[in-house]
Structure 1
Amino acid sequence: MSVVETDVKIKLNSTIIPTDGESEKYEMWLSGTFIKKSGKTYLRYVEELEEKKIRTTVKLGDKQALILRSGGVKMRLPFNASQDERGHYDTQFGTLPIITRTHQLAHEYHEESLISGTFNVQYDLIISGQSVGKYTLEIQYSEGQK
């Protein structure tokens, strides 16, 4: 089984439109690793949020995808273009079950000379049967010049 690991630059854009409240937009530039293993593709990176390190792995796909976060935030966020998915978010008070309702999911990937790609997902986050907001996440990644 061959495993390909390549350092990549990552641009992460996130938009949150809460059910009640103002919309929020975030943009982050990160360094990470692109991994191709057993026909699946992954991105790994570390975010720093309020002095906490959050290790994130994104399993990329255009029908199904998964975001796993550990460290400062512990979360399992699955996406499926054809059905709602159950995930969880760990808080200091315990584990909160969450549901993702995916509206759009796409992964475009190129590896002609340098690896690059774009991952997009739009979803509703549902907690206790209620949507708490609409979320859009776009991740662009590209291999740095040697």
Structure 2
Amino acid sequence: MRVPVQIYVQNKIFQNQTEEERIEFYTTGEFFKKQHTFYLVYDEIQDDETVKTLIKISEKETTLIRSGGIRLRQRFKQGQKTYANYETPYGTLKLAAETKSLIWHTDEEKHGTLSIEYLLEINGDTPRLHSLSIQFKKEEH
């Protein structure tokens, strides 16, 4: 069953242990479970385009799938480096994400937290540390 949820997303980006950038926003979406996999779905606006985001969370990995104004399918597996193409209207960027930690908690009904810490390399540049935190809770009417 799909549950309407309120979502808070925060991504901190570090260069040389110093926080360089912080992206944070609130939105609404849906949370549901199919078999042993959890899903969180929401829209966000990026450069005046609506981007649909689906986060697929299983026991061994998390996959971030974005579509709309941009396209991305990035997998996160603790202790592993994964690769993806980030497709924008302006061109494609090559991403390499090395997942340092992946923590997932949910009570399956009312709330949950996903935290991913990873080194992100874009087009072979120096990797920067990202600390992504997504919290959600069931919307109360």
Same fold, TM-score > 0.5, yes or no: yes
Partner residue, 1:105: 102
The aligned residue for residue 119 of structure 2 is 124
Tell me the equivalent position of 1:16: 13
The residue aligned with 2:25 is 28
Shift of 1:77: 1.5
2:44 to 44, 47, 56: 47
| Alignment check: 8 A CA contact 2:69 2:88 kept | no
CA RMSD of aligned residues (A): 2.0
What is the 5 A alignment of 1:65-144?
Answer: 65-111=62-108, 114-144=109-139
> 1: CA distance between counterparts of 2:126 and 2:112?
30
Q: 2:140 aligns with which of 122, 130, 145?
A: 145
Distance in 2, matches of 1:56 and 1:133, equals: 22
The aligned length equals 140
Q: Which runs of 5+ in 2 are unaligned?
A: none
Long gaps (5+) in structure 1? none
Instruction: Work out the CA distance in 2 between the residues paired with 1:109 and 1:119.
Output: 9
Cα 1:60/1:41, change in 2 over 3 Å:
same
Separation in 2, partners of 1:93, 1:145: 40
Instruction: Return the alpha-carbon distance in structure 2 between the equivalents of residues 61 and 119 of structure 1.
Output: 12
Cα displacement (A) at 1:95: 3.1
Contact 1:61 1:106 in 2 (8 A): no
Offset, 1:22: 6.5
8 Å CA contact retained: 1:14, 1:27:
yes
Identity over aligned pairs, percent: 29
- State the TM-score, normalized to the length of structure 1: 0.85
**Whole-angstrom CA distance in 1 between matches of 2:36 and 2:106:** 13
Secondary structure of 2:2 counterpart: strand
